[in-house]
Amino acid sequence: MKLFRCILLLPVLFSLSCGDVLDKQPLDKLQGENLFSNPEGVKLYMANLYYQLPIEDFTFFRQGFNWNTGDPNNGGFAPAMVTDEAVHTEFGDFIGNDDFQWWDQGYKLIRDTNILIDIIPTLSVSEDETKALVGESAFIRAYAYFALAKRYGGVPLITSVQKYEGDVESLKVPRSTEKETWDFVLKECDVAIQNLAESWPGGERRATKWVAYALKSRVALHAASLSKYGERAPISGTAVDQKLVGLDKSAAAEYYKAAIEASETLINSGKFSLYKPSPASPEEAAENYRKLFEDPNIALNEVIFIKGFARPGAGTGHNYGIWYQPNQTANGWPHPGRMNPTLDLIDAYESYTDPGKSAPVMTTEAGNDINDYNGFSASKNYKRYDDPAGIYKDKDARLWATAVLPGTAWKGQKIIIQAGFIKPDGSAQLFGGEPITANGKTYYPFGAADRTQYSGFDTWGGNNTRTGVSFKKFLNEGVNVAPGWNQTVSDWADFRYAEILLIYAEAIVESGSGKIEEGAKALNDIRRRAGHTKDIPLTIDNVIRERRVELAFENKRFWDLVRRREYHTLFNNSVRHALIPVLDLRVSPAKYIFIRQTIQRLNPATFDYKQYYRYIPGVGSNGLVQNPQY
């Protein structure tokens, strides 16, 4: 009887055992369905996509993006240092084959975005929210493919999630032509423009219609310049024959038109304007410009898209504050002072006395030797100054806000940059040596007795500028950054209205279409904000010079030289230059003279045609056609 009862129990046990009691879900991970079924989950996922966005900000280096996790020590070698904007205090590197690659990470972001794009139609959210998701994901994909196109030319266009079903070959997507790739990026921009709202309710830093227009302006100008100037650097090979790299000259017109239309829409929207557009004096202009980069959040009328660095720490802070302070304000960090703006950049800034052209710094009374970089010559009649920054008087306010000039104040200190002296007997003692006594006073080669009291030319630690000026733009004067990794939290302005104005002006003058007066106004509005009072005509030279000075160190110059195919002309066995301040003891009281010369310990650099495209990694397994000469 007992046994029978037990047997009766068996079916009950069986029925229980077939439940999914054992199909446990991991408790420490979110499942895909759960993530996307909850609006907060979508937001979380979106935050990760934005994080991966290839924004060329404070954490963008030749090694890649978000270079602020793990060990971020790259010596502070910024992208500007492979252009004519700056050099590093120590490293003489130029562009290596493995630099500025973004392949695996690019396709990872695209896959992550495609996962979202595939799932949007299945989400139970309102129509507005769906639209926003469609627009945002298109914006992210456009941004990603833009970063790929400018590096590799035509790339595989993968527009939905690939699934591995046992056949690797079916996953291999061949490269599209370069034309198709740029057109795809522009089309994605249009999808973003059509679907995104003008702003986010909480003012979140997410893509809006306007950010998408800004991206489109930048993309279209890049493609247009490649079309127009590609023939300056002809290359050959399979990738060229199959049009995987290279754009036809005839495409320039449509791309310039797209750039004009997109930037014009932004200009006419009335939503944006320049921050403090009409300063009373150059001094005021310099201060306004400096503040704009110290904290772009004070200028939300000008800044279209910001990437924030919220709190000190790995992945959330950056390292500009430690690498680029002048030596005197290192605040305990062992290796400051690493960004050295070149004389080549300094020369480009206009002078208020003779506006409308670059104003190379004249160091002698004769003024006919700006191409003489041979160093001190006793026979020359150098201009003498009491003020170590005297030679920069009348130079564009933005120079004063971009670089720390010798003898100027920074963080309450007088920044001393001195390369040596001319002894009373007329011989020069430069870049070191013993102090001397002259006229009853002791003079030190670098301007002060102790190495914490000057910021120039001493090679110790690679901490002192070798170009004659130190770096200022983006640095926060009021904050003493702690001497550790990722402690700087200033925000990055990815798109500024000033760039849009310059895109507009360049597209008009390069295409010879559009409203020339409006283009000239765009150019001169920016100059007026910098304290200029005399308008200049719209010419390509004026626009490019304006880009160089207005957008200096915003990681634009590298791509400007690439898209306009000017890199190989500018860097053909080329050296970069310094303007060294030297104390002249031949006169009493001693005065400063300045010498134009090649930068010490820096090799000439050459850019090859093939470097206009990066090599594609892994062609052995992905089967893609490699770029020429790699």
Partner 1 sequence: MKKIKLYIPVFLLVLTVIACKIDNYPATDAQLYGTFLDAETNEPVEQDIIRGSTIEFIEHGYASQTKQVMIVKNDGTYRNNLIFANTYTITPVRGNFVPTEPQEVTVKGETQLDFKVQPYIRVKDVKIEKVGTKVVATFKLQQTVINKVKKIGLYAHPEPAVGEPIRTVLADQEINTVSDPNKIYRLEIDVPSNSSNLKTGNQYFFRVGALIDAPESKFNYAKAVRLTL
Site for partner 1 in 433-452 (CB under 8 A): none
**Shortest distance in whole angstroms from residue 231 CB to partner 1:** 8
Distance CA 457, CA 89 (A): 9
Tell me: does residue 375 bind partner 1 (CB under 8 A): yes
Q: Can residue 254 be called a binding residue for partner 1 (CB under 8 A)?
A: no
Residues 228/566, Cβ–Cβ less than 8 Å: no
Of 91 and 609, which has the nearer Cβ to partner 1?
609
Using the minimum distance from each CB to partner 1, give the nearer residue, 358 or 606. 606
We find the least distance from the C-beta atom of residue 236 to partner 1, in angstroms, to be: 6
Q: Which is nearer to partner 1, 331 or 574 (CB)?
A: 574
Report, in Å, the least distance between residue 421 CB and partner 1: 20
CB 305 within 8 A of CB 211: yes
> 298-317: which residues touch partner 1 (CB under 8 A)?
none
Among the residue ranges 207-215, 372-380, 519-527, 530-538, the one whose residues contact partner 1 (CB under 8 A): 372-380
Assess contact for 320 and 60: CB atoms under 8 A: no
Which contiguous run of DSSP H or E holds residue 578?
A: strand 577-584
CB of 598 to partner 1, least distance (A): 7
**Whose CA is closest to 278, among 552, 533, 549, 550?**
533
Under rule CB under 8 A, residue 621 binds partner 1? no
236 binds partner 1 (CB under 8 A): yes
Report the DSSP pairing between strands 577-584 and 591-598: antiparallel
Strands annotated E in 366-502: 403-404, 409-410, 413-414, 420-422, 428-430, 436-438, 441-443, 470-471, 492-496
**SS3 labels along 279-327:** CCCHHHHHHHHHHHHHCHHHHCCCEEEEECCCCCCCCCCECHHHHCCCH
Find the binder of partner 1 among 99, 372, 387, 566 (CB under 8 A): 372
Interaction of residue 92 with partner 1, rule CB under 8 A: no
Count of beta carbons in the 10 Å neighbourhood of residue 397 = 24
Contacts of 259 (CB under 8 A, 6+ apart): 216, 217, 220, 221, 224, 503, 504, 506, 507
Give the H or E element holding residue 15.
Answer: helix 2-17
- With contacts defined by CB under 8 A, name the span among 128-136, 207-215, 261-269, 369-377 that binds partner 1: 369-377
Task: Candidates 50, 94, 352, 373: give the one binding partner 1 (CB under 8 A).
Answer: 373
Nearest to 311 by CA among 482, 485, 51, 486: 486
Contact letters for partner 1, residues 579-608 (x by CB under 8 A):
------------------xx-------x-x
Respond yes or no on whether the N-terminal peptide bond of residue 604 is cis (omega within 30° of 0): no
- Give the residue with the Cβ less far from partner 1, 174 or 483: 174
Length of the chain measured in residues: 630
* Per-residue interface string for the shown chain with partner 1, residues 498-517, x marking contact by CB under 8 A: --------------------
Q: CB of residue 375 vs partner 1: minimum separation in angstroms?
A: 6
Of residues 301 and 600, the one with the C-beta less far from partner 1: 600
Coil, strand or helix at 598: strand
- Residue 127 to residue 108: CA distance in whole angstroms: 28
Residue (of 498, 548, 549, 485) closest to 58 by Cα position:
485
| Spatial distance between the Cα atoms of 294 and 410, rounded to a whole number of angstroms | 13
Rg of the chain over CA atoms, in angstroms?
Answer: 28
How many chain residues bind partner 1 (CB under 8 A)? 14
- Considering only 32, 92, 234, 435, the residue that binds partner 1 (CB under 8 A) is 234
Nearer to partner 1, 365 or 386 (CB): 365
Residue whose structure tokens are 């594609």: 616
Q: Which of 235, 370, 448, 479 binds partner 1 (CB under 8 A)?
A: 235
- Rounded Cα gap, residues 347 and 545, in angstroms: 10
**Judged by CB under 8 A, which of 162, 281, 374, 569 binds partner 1?**
374
Q: How far apart are CA 66 and CA 417, in angstroms?
A: 33
C-alpha to C-alpha distance for 27 and 209, rounded to whole angstroms: 39
The residues in 28-87 that bind partner 1, with binding defined as CB under 8 A, are none
Minimum distance of partner 1 from residue 624's CB (angstroms): 13
Binding piece for partner 1, criterion CB under 8 A, among 151-159, 233-241, 433-441, 502-510: 233-241
Which of the stretches 78-86, 209-217, 228-236, 407-415 binds partner 1 when contact is defined by CB under 8 A? 228-236
What is the spatial distance between Cα 64 and Cα 226, in angstroms, rounded to a whole number? 23
- Minimum Å distance from CB 425 to partner 1? 20
Is 368 a residue that touches partner 1 (CB under 8 A)? Answer: no
Nearer to partner 1, 406 or 628 (CB): 628
Q: Are 532 and 357 in contact (CB under 8 A)?
A: no
Sign of the C-alpha dihedral, residues 43, 44, 46, 47?
positive
For partner 1, which is the closer residue by CB, 231 or 541? 231
Give me the 525-554 binding string for partner 1, x by CB under 8 A, dash otherwise.
Answer: ------------------------------
Rounded to a whole number of angstroms, the minimum distance from the CB of residue 611 to partner 1 is: 12
Closer residue to partner 1 in complex, CB, 94/352 = 94
**Shortest reach from residue 435's CB to partner 1, in Å:** 26
Determine if 620 is a binding residue for partner 1 (CB under 8 A): yes
DSSP lists the bridge partners of residue 61 as 64
- In 309-328, which positions are buried (b, 16+ CB within 10 angstroms) versus exposed (e)? beebeeeebbbbbbbbbbbb
Which C-beta is closer to partner 1: that of 235 or that of 436?
Answer: 235
Task: Tell me the two tokens of residue 103.
Answer: 């392949």
- Report in angstroms how near the CB of residue 376 gets to partner 1 at its nearest: 10
573 binds partner 1 (CB under 8 A): yes
Strand, coil or helix: 159: coil
Give the interface segment with partner 1, choosing from 66-74, 234-242, 327-335, 532-540 (CB under 8 A): 234-242
**Residue 130 or 598: which CB sits closer to partner 1?**
598
User: Which region among 163-171, 371-379, 425-433, 450-458 touches partner 1 (by CB under 8 A)?
Assistant: 371-379
**Contact pattern for partner 1 over residues 266 through 305, marking x by CB under 8 A:** ----------------------------------------
Q: Shortest gap between Cβ of 234 and partner 1 (angstroms)?
A: 4
Q: Which residues bind partner 1 (CB under 8 A)?
A: 234-236, 372-375, 573, 597-598, 606, 608-609, 620
